[in-house]
Each structure stands twice: as structure tokens, then as C-alpha cells.
Amino acid sequence: MTTTPKTAGPTLRRGEKTFEVNGGDVVYEILGKEGDFIALTPGGRYSKDIEGLRPLAKKLVDGGYRVLLWDRPNCGKSDVQFYGQSESHMRAETLHALIAGLDIGPCILAGGSGGARDSMLTTMLYPDIVRKLVVWNIVGGVYGAFALGAYYVMPTIHAARALGMAGPLRLPEWKELIEANPRNKDRILAHDSDEFLKVMLRWLNAYVSKPGQTIPGVPDEMFDEIKVPTLIIRGGENDWDHPKRTSLEISCLIKGSKLIDPPWPEDAWERASEARAQGKVKRFNMFDTWVQAAPAILKFLDK
């Protein structure tokens, strides 16, 4: 990738800072004044400001911890980046560099949905920076993995094939990231379209269901590398995106892990999805229930 000038970057709020990883700036903030650190990661390509995440962070701060909130590459105000075996591998490398660079490790990793996968993979690849692990809303199964590839990768591939690197600029998700950080336009255009498509195909392949991969793009044997105390909050009974079965399988793969029932209703994800489809909510604020996990998380961490 060609290095682009650092011009017209994001407007930072009070408390927000940047840390450079692999030529791209990561926007982060730290909540709380004392206590062990928790690196808290949301799902999808949502920023640290997605509705529902900060209330959970504040409850954890009230419980005596400091919380690192961060915009992963391709999320929020951070610079876009395109490298790695999968997008989660890129995020794991970024989180490791951020924790090491800020000298806050070993710390606790916690995350839901895509943030759960990012946190688990970071623990597998960089166990030296992790003290404990807490995950929930774990994506798995044929539908869950297929939906991620179709939503997050295929539209970008179609756009780049048809129009070169100007194509992704027309997609709403990349428009939103450029609005949050105008520098991202030049960063996208700086890529060679052929090399960019190779990365996108590699990322897409991670979402193709394969034997021996309970979560997308991660061989099951890598779970042997997770040796820290781990709390798993089970997926909902009929949640197609984060199947109950996947949570049970992960609890078997992580030796000594603790599996608990969700503190929110079994059908919370489905009801929120329906509300969005019916126009009852403006955004896909599926994480509003996460704050309900604070008591269980604090109980686990305080042991």
C-alpha cells in the first residue's frame, strides 16, 4: 500500500487520542482512573460509540476497572486498513500493538459478536497481553458466517471489480467512514485494485464454513492457546447469527471456561432485528441489552 499524507483526519472529542499501528491511526479513549484494564470491543464494523457499548463500559468502570474503548481499523474514526489473513486477524494484530504500545497489558479482553471473535483471536495469537477473557454473542454456523461475508465483503468486491478503487467510495459503509475521517478517501484510493481484491477474497474465504472451524477463519486447534480464565455468555435459543450451539462448542474448546445463560431475553436479538426492519429504530442498535451483562462480568472478574 502507498503511504498517503496525514491530512484532513478525524475531529477528536475530549478524551479521544490516536495511536499509529502499521501506518494507520487508531482512535481510542480510556474510561476510569484506576483498576485493571478491560479492552472492550463491539461487533460488526461499528465504532466504539455504537449505542449500548458505553453504558456497559461505565458499569465496568463503576465496578473498579478502567476500560479501553477503541475504533478498530475500518470502524468509526480510525484509518481504514486492508491486510491480514482475515479482518479479525488484522484487528487482533492492531489490538496487540495498541495494548503493548499503551503499556496496559496484560489486561482483560471483552467483546461481543465480531468483538468476541476479535478478542478470542487476540488471546490465541498474543497470550502474553491477556489476563482474562469474556465473550458473548459469538457468531457461528452456516447462516451466521455466510451473512457476514455477504454483508461486509461481497458489496465491496462487486464495487471494486466494476469501478476500481472508486467503486467502494460509493458504498454507504465506506462513505460513513470517510465522513468520520476524511483522510480515508485517499487511503482507499491509494490501493491498487488488483491487490485490494486479493485481500478481499482472502477475507471472504474466512467466512466460508469449513470443517474444523467453529468460528469463521479460525482453526479449532487454535483454541488450545487460550489458557486464561474465560467467561462465555451463551447465544440466544433461536439466534441464527450467534447460535446457542456455537457457544456450547466454544465452551468445549476452551478448557476450563465458564458458560452462563444470557442475562437478556433469549429472543433479544431477533426482536431487535424485527424492530429495525419495521422502522421502529433508526439504527441497528442491537447492543442495548449488553449492559445487562455487567453484574455477571464483574462477578467473574472479581473472583
**pLDDT of 94-138, one tens digit each?**
999 999 999 999 999 999 999 999 999 999 999 999 999 999 999
Q: CA 197, 203, 204, 206 torsion: positive or negative? A: positive
The answer on pLDDT for 279 being more than 90 is: no
Task: Please classify residue 141 by burial: count the beta carbons closer than 10 Å to its beta carbon, then call 0-12 exposed, 13-18 middle and 19+ buried.
Answer: buried
pTM of the model: 0.94
Q: d(Cα 66, Cα 35) in Å, to the nearest integer? A: 6
Q: Over the range 15-53, which residues count as b (16 or more CB within 10 Å of their CB) and which as e?
A: ebebbebeebbbbbbbbbeeeebbbbbbbbbbbbbbbbb
Q: d(Cα 152, Cα 64) in Å, to the nearest integer? A: 36
Number of other residues whose CB lies within 10 A of the CB of residue 211: 5
| Length of the chain, in residues | 303
Number of other residues whose CB lies within 10 A of the CB of residue 154: 13
Q: Are 180 and 46 in contact (CB under 8 A)?
A: no
pLDDT tens for residues 39-82?
Answer: 999 999 999 999 899 999 999 999 999 999 999 999 999 999 99
Name the nearest CA neighbour of 19 among 76, 90, 102, 81.
102
**H/E stretch holding 203:** helix 193-206
Residue-level pLDDT at 146: 96
Q: d(Cα 46, Cα 53) in Å, to the nearest integer? A: 10
